Amino acid sequence: MGFQLSDSFIADENRRLLAWLLEDYESLGRRLARRGVEVERLTERAMAFRVAVPSWGVGTGGTRFARFPGPGEPRDVFEKLEDCETILKLVRVTPGISLHIPWDRPERPAELKAFAQARGLVFDSMNSNTFQDQPGQRLSYKFGSLSHTDAGVRRQAIEHNLECLELGGKLGARSHTVWIGDGGNFPGQVHFRRALDRYLDSLRRIYAALPEKMRLFIEHKLYEPAFYSTVLNDWGTSYYCARELGERALSLVDLGHHAPNVNIEMIVARLVQLGKLAGFHFNDSKYGDDDLDAGSIRPFQLFLIFNELVDAEKEAVAGFEPSYMLDQSHNVTDPIESLMTSAVELVRAYVQASLVDRAALEAHQERNDATLALHTLKQAFTTDVGPILAMARYRAGGAIDPVASYRASGYRARKAEERPSTMGVGTGAGIV
Ligand code: RM4
Ligand code: MN
Ligand code: MN
């Protein structure tokens, strides 16, 4: 058993910050009361928020060009779960883990499940990987997987997904997420309609094997690794496929998988309305699939997405049950700090969106008052809800200041001693 962050260490850290937090929380509470908002209700919501952490996010990521391994990187899935537990202890909203197969294929699933359970962790989504070749693999995915022209390659890719489903069943996972790199680099390379037919046909076989308790999430992406066309390129195609497949097939939105300036919050609203929103891979980006920390580039967009989600929640839209996951992995930060930061930013956007005066917004919309409608949103977005987030963490046993406490714990240095460097398991190749 290696070094672990103890609850008493977090409590000691919090003691230093508590007096100020109480002061800030109280004054925010008074300001919100003037607007008819009860601060305690928001704190309860912040405490109830959940987002899953990706196993691939705790390794140092890379770009297409290079990978710079960090000290104390987890060397196997058990060590990855240790890092996920550390994140959970500090922020208290991340009990779910999203696993990537084969990067995290456990030899003994029951052992991994028990290991997770003992740490308060659960398996959220399984993720298949047919976007790169694995050592010893019989057929190559160089020209596609589920939509490949060769039925043999398609079969191999389907079987891999079936293996993920079986594993997911054993681990108690709630969903299976399929993202493929299939597409073309040059005009004419791929027959658009036939490729989509083949993809759908493969997915039908996967869907047929879906364990009863699991849902199937399909993830679109407009480009990369294919640069000219992808098979599941946008939300409309994703919606069509999800509808063709059946009730438990849903469309997942990865924020980094759209063209620049696309109105993602509107896509979210459409999928909610059509009953097909699976959930999210949260991250942020400036140019493409940058996989930066959530809210680091476009916090207002993140808020507007949560505005749609909270609106659907408050209206109790039938079948609305989105699954939140982080999907990020980049090069320059300590991944534990980045994942904690993203989790906190999501709770922030959720609480801010919960602050929107929906009755007022609706009235402004009815009167076509664009100015006051925007003001209503901005009033919520510009409210510093930091004390609510800190109070929620504190009450749940987490850290008032997660990154500061993490650094003070010396966790990374201790892990660097315990986990002598290998080449690093990371995320695998650098295309993601
Ligand atoms: C892809 C996509 C998938 C993720 C891989 C690692 O771009 O976002 O969800 O599993 O990267
Ligand atoms: Mn993703
Ligand atoms: Mn991605």
With vertex at residue 75, the alpha carbon angle to CA 347 and CA 256, rounded to the nearest 5 degrees, is: 40
pLDDT value of residue 368: 98
Q: Average the pLDDT over 396-411 and give the result.
A: 98
pLDDT value of residue 422: 65
**Helix or strand (DSSP H, E) at 282:** strand 277-282
Query: What integer best gives the mean pLDDT of the chain?
Result: 96
Q: Which of the four pLDDT bands, split at 50, 70 and 90, describes residue 423?
A: low
Whole-angstrom distance, CA of residue 166 vs CA of residue 171:
9
pLDDT value of residue 330: 81
With vertex at residue 51, the alpha carbon angle to CA 50 and CA 52, rounded to the nearest 5 degrees, is: 125
Q: Average the pLDDT over 293-313 and give the result.
A: 98
- C-alpha radius of gyration, the chain, whole number: 22
**Is residue 60 pLDDT above 80, yes or no?**
no
**Site residues for ligand 1, CB cut-off 6 Å:** 56, 127, 179, 219, 254, 281, 289, 327, 432
**Helix or strand (DSSP H, E) at 265:** helix 264-273
- Residue-wise pLDDT for 123-162, tens only, equals 999 999 999 999 999 999 999 999 999 999 999 999 999 9
**Is residue 323 pLDDT above 60, yes or no?**
yes
Whole-angstrom distance, CA of residue 29 vs CA of residue 18:
16
Q: Which atom of ligand 1 is nearest to the CA of 254?
A: 8
If we measure between CA atoms, which residue out of 252, 173, 242 comes closest to residue 214?
173
What's the DSSP call for residue 57?
A: G
pLDDT value of residue 426: 47
Q: Which of the four pLDDT bands, split at 50, 70 and 90, describes residue 61?
A: confident
If we measure between CA atoms, which residue out of 307, 232, 314, 316 comes closest to residue 269?
307
Q: Average the pLDDT over 56-69 and give the result.
A: 83
Whole-angstrom distance, CA of residue 413 vs CA of residue 432:
27
Q: Which ligand is nearest to the CA of 427?
A: 1
Q: How many other C-beta atoms can be found within 10 angstroms of the C-beta atom of residue 185?
A: 13
Pocket test for ligand 1, best of 56, 104, 219, 257 (most atoms within 8 A of CB): 219
Tokens for 28? Answer: 């925010």
Q: Residue 113 region, left (φ>0) first, then alpha (ψ -120 to 50), else beta?
A: alpha
Which residue's entry shows tokens 């929380």? 25
pLDDT value of residue 8: 97
Give the residue with greater pLDDT, 68 vs 143.
Answer: 143
Longest dimension (CA), the chain: 66
**Is residue 428 pLDDT above 60, yes or no?**
no
Query: How many Å lie between the centroid of ligand 3 and the Cα of residue 333?
Result: 18
As to burial, measured by CB atoms within 10 angstroms (0-12 exposed, 13-18 middle, 19+ buried), residue 218 is buried
pLDDT value of residue 432: 43
- Residue-wise pLDDT for 20-54, tens only, equals 999 999 999 999 999 999 999 999 999 999 999 99
Q: What is the DSSP string of 331-351?
A: SSS-HHHHHHHHHHHHHHHHH
pLDDT value of residue 63: 75
Tokens for 104? Answer: 């995290």
Residue 386: CA count within 13 A, CB half-sphere: 10
Q: Average the pLDDT over 81-106 and give the result.
A: 97
Q: Chain centroid to CA 307: how far?
A: 18
pLDDT value of residue 84: 98
Q: Are 393 and 91 in contact (CB under 8 A)?
A: yes
Q: Chain centroid to CA 83: how far?
A: 16
- Residue-wise pLDDT for 164-189, tens only, equals 999 999 999 999 999 999 999 999 99
pLDDT value of residue 421: 77
Portion of the chain with pLDDT greater than 90, in percent:
93
**Is residue 343 pLDDT above 80, yes or no?**
yes
Q: Name the pTM for this structure.
A: 0.96
- Residue-wise pLDDT for 189-235, tens only, equals 999 999 999 999 999 999 999 999 999 999 999 999 999 999 999 99
Q: Average the pLDDT over 104-110 and give the result.
A: 95
Query: How many Å lie between the centroid of ligand 1 and the Cα of residue 38?
Result: 39
Whole-angstrom distance, CA of residue 133 vs CA of residue 139:
8
Q: How many other C-beta atoms can be found within 10 angstroms of the C-beta atom of residue 187?
A: 8
Pocket test for ligand 1, best of 98, 230, 280, 327 (most atoms within 8 A of CB): 327
Residue of minimum CA distance from atom 3 in ligand 1: 179
